Amino acid sequence: MINPFHLAFPIKDIEETKRFYKNVLGCEIGRESDAWVDFDFFGHQLSAHLKPEELTNTKKNKVDGKSVPVRHFGVVLDWKDWHSLSKKLQGLKIKFIIDPYIRFEGEVGEQATMFFLDPSGNALEFKSFKDSNQLFEA
């Protein structure tokens, strides 16, 4: 078993953030106050802190010819779960920064990836590897 990570990040509105992470991504809400809220993010702990002044435009780098936000976070899902989430997000009309697609198709490290923003503008990447043993393969 992998130990869960903890990540704290800024948000502009607690209620809007709770709706998004719970209803769109399926995260359970944990402890909360009027200044922060914790989420069970696929077994990991996210702490969203009300601090709108910390939200800034994220710089981007080119990867595969696409503009990838340098500051982003997410999770690696099972291949089937990634495709299910991708379809759900498309059905909800989530605006993607980078539409769902397959990288390195037929090669070592074949992976599915997609990028989108939460309501505060935090960039999220969800990915999956065709063969999960290739997560760190070069």
Which CATH number belongs to the domain containing residue 47 in this structure? 3.10.180.10
CA neighbor of 111 nearest in space, from 126, 122, 91, 97: 126
Supply the pTM of this predicted model: 0.91
- Which has more pLDDT, 4 or 108? 4
What whole-number distance in Å separates Cα of residue 113 and Cα of residue 61? 16
Residues 68 and 118 in one domain: yes
Range of weakest confidence among 9-23, 25-39, 52-66, 93-107:
52-66
Residues 74 and 120 in one domain: yes
Q: Quick one: what percent of the chain has pLDDT higher than 90?
A: 73
Q: What is the dihedral of CA 107, 62, 114, 71, to 10 degrees?
A: 120
Q: Evaluate whether residue 66 is within a structural domain.
A: yes
Q: Which residues pair with 8 in a beta bridge?
A: 47
Note the pLDDT of residue 138: 66
Note the pLDDT of residue 68: 84
Range of weakest confidence among 51-55, 101-105, 106-110, 132-136:
132-136
Range of the domain at 109: 60-134
Residues 30 and 69 in one domain: no
Range of weakest confidence among 14-18, 40-44, 70-74:
70-74
Q: Where are the beta strands (DSSP E) in 24-110?
A: 28-32, 36-41, 44-50, 60-63, 66-69, 72-77, 96-103
Mean pLDDT value of segment 103-112: 89
The set of long-range contacts for 82-90, using a CB threshold of 8 Å and a minimum separation of 24, is 82/112, 82/126, 82/127, 82/128, 83/112, 83/128, 85/25, 85/126, 86/112, 86/114, 86/126, 89/24, 89/114, 89/116
